[in-house]
Structure 1
Amino acid sequence: MKGLLIKDGRLMITQGKTLLGIAVFMIVCSFLQGDSFPQFAASYSIMMTTIFTISTVSYDEYDNGIKYLLVLPVERRTYVKEKYCFGILMSCMVWGICSLIGIAGAFFQNADGLEEYLISSLSVAMLAVLLLGICLPVIFYYGAEKGRGIYTGMLACIFFAAIAFFKLKWNVALMENEWFQQMLLMMGRNRFLFITVGVFIYLGILSIAYQCAVKIMERREF
């Protein structure tokens, strides 16, 4: 699997202009927002890394590349595992870079909300990995091009759902609902339990998606 990771890493290096553009975008947003943190830039950068992971599948499929890889001593399960590991590593790397930028911004610009920024960017990184994990079985089944469209559509749905939640009037009514307030209070009192359950559910979904991807890849004909 190490060789596959090196291969995908070198493919990422060939996208140097795009990566440089994202880095410049992050830095510019950090300075423009002044006393706050560039949550949108961080979220955008993390999500873009998962799209790069999907693009590596496109490169592999180009000109029967996967057939060549499978002729080598590479099992199909190993290939799937490498895509999941590569996506997780890239998301963690970009989240680490975003965290360093946020810490530097807090140090040099005396910006407020560092903890909120780190938590929100970590949540986006976990969401990006989850979406990638769910989409990889679809990508292996339908192909990288259709899979990229499905992934983009999922991101768009989440984006518009977030806008609807924070902008529409029913958001205020929900926050003032007594049952909802009691639920938030209960979650605050049992924070560790809810976090533990959430982590197990998160890992369970990723495990199921991984097993589905492996089965699809093992049955796929090239």
Structure 2
Amino acid sequence: MARFFGWFRDLKRNRNRNQNPNCSPQPSDRTKSRCQNPRSNSTSSQPVADSSSSWKFDSKARWGKEYDVCICHAEDDVTYVQDLVSFLELRPHSLRCFLQLRDLAPGGAVCTELCQAVRESHCWVLVISPSFLKDPWCWYQMQQALSESPTANGRVIPVRKQLERKDYPQELRFMFGIDVRLDKENGFQKIKRAILYYLEELCRKEREEQRQRDTENCVDTVSNTTDLSGTC
């Protein structure tokens, strides 16, 4: 019996030693509580890297379109683009990507499908390569994207792949592009940051407009209440 109580005392002492006194889980979320800061692994260069800040990308404006980004590319660059899309669709952000090889409707007209993809996307990544410059459908999709967003507001994201600056399309030379010729993985990060930045700004502007509308409605309500009380 004395051996049993000794074993129980040691077990209790070890449990108390392993507990963190600074961590106090709430009753409703005991199994998910953590003592560490969930943002400790994120870097300042990335807009958001944890689910606790997912509200920055949550708005009616974002969900009003089917895709976050449309990837425009030539057939010769499909392997690179598939790797890029796999990276962009990873959690926690899980960006919604349009990939021609995967998302084009079988039997649909090419021009109609490409136009629809452009209209239903917030951003457009143009993978500019020698094959892109030779593909008329790539030029067609690029022109559609530029017609949707003629100003450099971050929606059109040129990605220069295996292409010299002198061969860059004239229509894109006023935009800052991403050069991925030397560093593929870092290029993926830059593309993702560009998309997230635009989406965050889109959602932020919508929240500001909603707050302004709520304030104006509140002022109108108070004014109407004052008028009614004065009449009485």
Q: Normalization by structure 1: what TM-score?
A: 0.29
Larger Rg: 2
Q: Normalization by structure 2: what TM-score?
A: 0.28
Give the structure, 1 or 2, with the largest relative contact order (CA under 8 Å, sep 6 or more): 1
